[in-house]
Structure 1
Amino acid sequence: MERLIVLGTGNAGAVRCYNTCCVLHDGEEPVLVDGGGGNGLLVRLERAGVRVEDIHHAFLSHCHTDHLFGMIWMIRTVAQRIRSDAYAGSFTLYCHEELAGVVHSIADMTLPVGMTDCIGDRIRIVPVADGEERPFGGYRATFFDIGSTKARQFGFTLRLRNGDKLSFLGDEPCTPAGRPYVTDSDWLLSEAFCLYADRDRFKPYEKHHGTVRESCETAAALGAKNLVLWHTEDTRLAERKALYTAEGKPFFPGNLFVPDDLDVIPLSSPSILRTPRPHRLQYPQKGIR
């Protein structure tokens, strides 16, 4: 069964959970979406039972530290595996053109020459344009500019094996630029910085983010069937699932997921989905294949 392995759920300032990133797994090839803020990505992958050696495609949405720097660690680790003959094939990272330049620059400044020599050969940083379709692991994804008013940021949409549409909105509310791509998604992955009731405390609008209520209202207007909320503050982490679900459900009629780090969400067809609660990952000794 296809599943969404949630590696992290926090925003840039989160310290009680990892920054938001995930793995989309079709049972054969895992694909990585964003990297979080550091080498905590490697810890999360290990705890999730996903081997770096099995990841050959990744996507990076934008240049903010809580998304970018984990991907630099991913490049470093893949390069190490390549140099020790422990990585077969190539690693392809998709991102927009400006971000590709940033990744190249940071890698050149922070990684040894022996590792950066792999970039352009078996580590490929591939720029994508707004509306461009590319193979993405076992899928074909359409990448799109979300219309951010901060750093330029891309999202993507793709079809799962059962035909369901899955869309990733990055870490900002859906704009008119993104609506044509994500309308009528069976699975919508969206930020929700804080509760609407806490908006004066956390000031999400100053950071170009939104609230649980508004993300749910937007998802309902877009016709989404299943909504995953993440990229949140972490002050009440133990209560977050219950609080966010309680606030969001009156505004979203579909299945609402508020995952914790390392939760696994089965991407079942909405018509046969049994429960809106994600399964907790059991940490296997061997990698997911």
Structure 2
Amino acid sequence: MEKIIMLGTGNGGTLDLYNTCFVIQNGNGKFLVDTGGSIEIIKRLKQVNIDLNDIKHIFISHSHTDHILGLIWMFKKLGRASINGEIETNINIYCNDVVYKSIMEVSKHVLPEKIVKGICNIVDFHILKDEEKIDINGVKYTFFDIQARGTKQFGFECKLNEKRLIFLGDETLNPNLYERVKKSDYVMHEAFCLDSEESIFHAYEKNHSTAKSVSKVMNDLEVKNLILYHTEESHNNRKELYTKEGNENFSGNIYVPDDLEIIEL
């Protein structure tokens, strides 16, 4: 059974929610998508019974702190394991050229040289091109530039259990990609805040969406299932509120996962 394990669902400013990142798991392995912004990524993997050394495929969508810095903490542990000869197979990291430069530059300045060398011995970087296709754990992924208004950012599409899933990073969907997304089985899209609170959180000026705005677009595109993440955390009943606003504007199924929640496809 293929499933999505949501390690974190918060946006870049959350404290109690971890920053958005998740694992796609099937019988062939685990694929980590983004890493959040702190050492909390190590704890989150342990909480869902995933050994760090079992992660052999990692995708970093873009170079913002809440997506990339968790990888540096992973490097600290993996680099030591490499030095000690505890890792037998290499780790594949998929990212665009801007992300790659950011990873290497940050690592050089914040990690000991021997750790960086240890990482270089076990990590294979795959610098993605727009529309590049890669087989990961038996699933064919097509990585594509989401044409973000901010920093360069990639998403992907794939088929899980014969369902077409599209991950769109953490910016409002560019209209140039509407045809690509149309009639998808599952779409993963950010929802920075509730529409009624846009004036508080200023989602639009940050190139983000509200639960209402994204739900209306996905409804027009005839998407069947919509997974909302990258939210603020001011509400104890966040799931209920975001689901309600989404359902008022979307005729399919709305998922507003909590941290550590599992979505089975």
Tell me, yes or no, whether TM beats 0.5.
yes
Q: Which amino acid aligns with 2:196?
A: A
Structure 2 CA distance, aligned partners of 1:75 and 1:62?
17
Structure 1 CA distance, aligned partners of 2:113 and 2:54?
24
Structure 2 CA distance, aligned partners of 1:57 and 1:80?
19
Pair 177,80 (structure 1): closer, same or farther in 2 beyond 3 Å:
farther
Q: Following superposition of structure 1 onto structure 2, how do residues 1-16 of structure 1 map, counting pairs within 5 Å?
A: 1-16=1-16
1:206 aligns with 2:202: no
Q: 1:131 maps to which residue? A: 131
Q: Which amino acid aligns with 1:255?
A: N
Residue 180 of structure 1: how far off its partner (Å)? 4.1
What is the DSSP-based 3-state SS (H/G/I as helix, E as strand, rest coil) of the residue aligned with 1:58?
A: strand
What is the DSSP-based 3-state SS (H/G/I as helix, E as strand, rest coil) of the residue aligned with 1:117?
A: helix
Residue 119 of structure 1: how far off its partner (Å)? 4.1
TM-score with structure 2 length normalisation? 0.95
Q: Provide the aligned C-alpha RMSD in A.
A: 1.4
Q: 1:182 maps to which residue? A: 181
Structure 2 CA distance, aligned partners of 1:135 and 1:78?
24
Structure 1 CA distance, aligned partners of 2:164 and 2:15?
32
Q: 2:231 maps to which residue? A: 232
Q: Deviations over 1:190-221 (max 9, x none)?
A: 10001111111111011110100111112222
Structure 1 CA distance, aligned partners of 2:177 and 2:79?
34
Structure 2 CA distance, aligned partners of 1:151 and 1:81?
32
What is the DSSP-based 3-state SS (H/G/I as helix, E as strand, rest coil) of the residue aligned with 1:42?
A: helix
Pair 197,75 (structure 1): closer, same or farther in 2 beyond 3 Å:
same
Residue 121 of structure 1: how far off its partner (Å)? 3.4
Unaligned regions of 5+ residues in structure 2, if any? none
Structure 2 CA distance, aligned partners of 1:223 and 1:80?
48
Structure 2 CA distance, aligned partners of 1:178 and 1:15?
32
Aligned with residue 243 of structure 2, among 230, 245, 248:
245
Q: 1:61 maps to which residue? A: 61
Identical aligned pairs, as a percentage? 38
Residue 49 of structure 1: how far off its partner (Å)? 0.8
What is the DSSP-based 3-state SS (H/G/I as helix, E as strand, rest coil) of the residue aligned with 1:129?
A: coil
Q: Which amino acid aligns with 2:55?
A: I
Structure 2 CA distance, aligned partners of 1:15 and 1:243?
19
Q: Is the CA contact (8 Å cut-off) linking 1:144 and 1:181 kept in structure 2? A: no
Pair 51,177 (structure 1): closer, same or farther in 2 beyond 3 Å:
farther
Q: Is the CA contact (8 Å cut-off) linking 2:26 and 2:137 kept in structure 1? A: no
Q: Is the CA contact (8 Å cut-off) linking 1:184 and 1:224 kept in structure 2? A: yes
TM-score with structure 1 length normalisation? 0.88
Q: Is the CA contact (8 Å cut-off) linking 1:195 and 1:247 kept in structure 2? A: yes
Residue 120 of structure 1: how far off its partner (Å)? 4.2
1:110 aligns with 2:110: yes
Aligned residues: 265
What is the DSSP-based 3-state SS (H/G/I as helix, E as strand, rest coil) of the residue aligned with 1:215?
A: helix
What is the DSSP-based 3-state SS (H/G/I as helix, E as strand, rest coil) of the residue aligned with 1:25?
A: strand
Structure 1 CA distance, aligned partners of 2:176 and 2:129?
14
Q: 2:37 maps to which residue? A: 37
Instruction: Find runs of 4+ consecutive structure 1 residues off by over 4 angstroms.
Output: none
Q: 1:193 maps to which residue? A: 192
Q: Which amino acid aligns with 2:211?
A: V
Residue 118 of structure 1: how far off its partner (Å)? 3.4
Structure 1 CA distance, aligned partners of 2:153 and 2:187?
17
Structure 1 CA distance, aligned partners of 2:128 and 2:180?
15
Pair 163,202 (structure 1): closer, same or farther in 2 beyond 3 Å:
same
